[in-house]
Amino acid sequence: MEDLLNKLNEQNELTKIEIVYFLQHLTLELQKRLFHLAVETRKKHYNESVYLRGLIEFSNYCKQDCMYCGLRRSNPEVDRYRLTEEEILECAAEGYNLGYRSFVLQSGEDFRYTEELMVRIVKSLKARFPDAAITLSMGERSEAFYRALYAAGTDRYLLRHETASRSLYESLHPGMSFDNRMNCLRILKDIGYQVGAGFMVGLPEQTHEHLAEDLLFLKEFHPAMIGIGPFIPHSATPLKDTAGGTIEDTLVMIALARLFVPDALMPATTAMGTLDPTGREQALSAGANVVMPNLSPLRFREKYELYENKICTGDQASQCRNCIEMRIMASGYQIELSRGDNCNFISTP
Ligand code: 5AD
Ligand code: FES
């Protein structure tokens, strides 16, 4: 284990067999040292900064049927909503006034938001808030769509790979293709986006081998951003009776991802904060460096239910901002409200 920790620290990688061995033999004491190494590695690239992104959940309609997700199309209990172009701009304006210079527009896979409409939304956002970075997270689309949105000024795109294991991926995503997912990620990167990949921890049937594959995929793909969160079973999905992920297992994967991809921007996810009131702070102490407070209109917050008991569904944008600021400062970090680009990202105009 000593050798593996050293290798992680010096070479930022392990083989699949080594990762599995490492996960199997991790003690509490070694875990502490792993988190410490992850935090030191983050500091080399981003100092004590924690970057804030304002999250706008603009539609909870979804044409997909992911087994784990509360917004899956076959969940009839969801009260579906869509934000208009004006409502999205209003949310962003509120965030802008609170100081945010980075916005994430997220939705289910909702094709009512056509290329034309999205181009218009992104162009309006860029015109009104030229110094803000715009990130889209709206699932799989065509190469033409991704190109048009990039040309319109979109800076980043989040598309978690969810799991790098083809068999696990296919069992969780009826009607979807693992190859298409990977293809979308490569296209996004080729176009020039800062791309976010990532996965869930604690999926049913997920093994240490699967998690090793996730880390090796991240190493090879080298995303600008990596989102890792625990799987939280939702009672209106087929996976309602499964165990879900733990804070501890997720922290270990965050730390390993930090060491595998030292320059990544990594959110302390809302799912972490949902499992444990201090989950996001713990994620920061395991190598994460981004927090994404919610800017969605209050009346829609509870309806964007990927999993239940999601935090921050009853808080004004300004309250979230204050709460998160206090939490980050209390943990000894510094708030960064700038665009927060990946430190090695060179934009090509
Ligand atoms: N538990 C945890 N994370 C979930 N996601 C979707 N459903 C769940 C759930 N039940 C994650 C997926 C998706 C992201 C937006 O939320 O990884 O990519
Ligand atoms: Fe939303 Fe704390 S971040 S209330």
- Give tens-digit pLDDT for 279-293: 999 999 999 999 999
Query: Does the beta carbon of 293 lie inside 6 Å of ligand 2?
Result: yes
Please state, in angstroms and rounded to a whole number, the distance separating the CA atoms of residues 71 and 63: 9
pLDDT higher than threshold 70 for residue 254? yes
Average pLDDT for 247-274: 98
The CATH number assigned to the domain holding 91 equals 3.20.20.70
**pTM, 2 dp:** 0.97
For the chain, give the percent of residues with pLDDT over 70. Answer: 99
Nearest bound ligand to CA 273?
A: 2
Please state, in angstroms and rounded to a whole number, the distance separating the CA atoms of residues 268 and 228: 8
pLDDT higher than threshold 60 for residue 348? no
Flag whether 341 is in a domain: no
CA of 232 to the centre of ligand 1 (A): 8
Answer whether 126's CB lies under 8 Å from 143's CB: no
Burial label, 153 (beta-carbon count in 10 A; 0-12, 13-18, 19+): middle
Average pLDDT for 69-83: 98
Identify the helix (H) or strand (E) that includes residue 153.
none
The dihedral of CA 315, 319, 321, 326: what is its sign?
Answer: negative
CA atoms in the 13 A half-sphere facing the CB of 337: 11
CA of 315 to the centre of ligand 2 (A): 7
Nearest ligand 2 atom to alpha carbon 315: 4
Average pLDDT for 15-29: 98
* Ligand 1, residues at Cβ distance < 6 Å: 68-69, 160, 162, 200, 229, 231-232, 234, 271, 306-307
Flag whether 347 is in a domain: no
Flag whether 34 is in a domain: yes
Please state the ipTM of this predicted complex. Answer: 0.94
pLDDT at 129: 98
Nearest ligand 2 atom to alpha carbon 280: 3
> Given pLDDT bands bounded at 50, 70 and 90, which one contains residue 312?
confident
Flag whether 2 is in a domain: no
Answer whether 326's CB lies under 8 Å from 280's CB: no
**Which neighbouring-strand residues pair with 198?**
227
Tell me, letter by letter, the H, E, C secondary structure of 189-250: HHHCCEEEEEEEECCCCCCHHHHHHHHHHHHHHCCCEEEEEECCCCCCCCCCCCCCCCHHHH
Note the helical H segments in the chain: 2-11, 16-24, 28-46, 85-98, 115-128, 143-151, 166-172, 178-191, 208-221, 247-260, 270-275, 279-284, 298-301, 317-330
Average pLDDT for 251-257: 98
The residue range of the domain holding 101 is 22-336
For the chain, give the percent of residues with pLDDT over 90. Answer: 93
> How much is the mean pLDDT over the chain?
96
pLDDT higher than threshold 50 for residue 349? no
Total number of residues shown for the chain: 349
46-58: per-residue pLDDT in tens? 999 999 999 999 9
- Output the six-digit token pair for 204: 């049913």
User: Smallest Cα–Cα separation from 103: which of 293, 336, 346?
Assistant: 293
pLDDT higher than threshold 60 for residue 79? yes
CA of 206 to the centre of ligand 2 (A): 30
Flag whether 8 is in a domain: no
pLDDT higher than threshold 80 for residue 66? yes
Q: Is 181 annotated as a binding residue?
A: yes
87-145: per-residue pLDDT in tens? 999 999 999 999 999 999 999 999 999 999 999 999 999 999 999 999 999 999 999 99
pLDDT at 235: 98
Choose one of 281, 312, 318 to mutate for the ligand 2 pocket test, by most ligand atoms within 8 angstroms of C-beta. Answer: 312
Nearest ligand 1 atom to alpha carbon 198: 17
> Given pLDDT bands bounded at 50, 70 and 90, which one contains residue 347?
low
Flag whether 13 is in a domain: no
Flag whether 16 is in a domain: no
Average pLDDT for 290-309: 92
Distances, alpha carbon 285 to alpha carbons 64, 115, 331, in Å: 34, 39, 8
How many folded domains does the chain comprise? 1
135-165: per-residue pLDDT in tens? 999 999 999 999 999 999 999 999 999 999 9
Nearest bound ligand to CA 323?
A: 2
Residue bearing the bigger pLDDT, 347 or 249? 249
CA of 129 to the centre of ligand 1 (A): 29
Q: Is 91 annotated as a binding residue?
A: no
Flag whether 36 is in a domain: yes
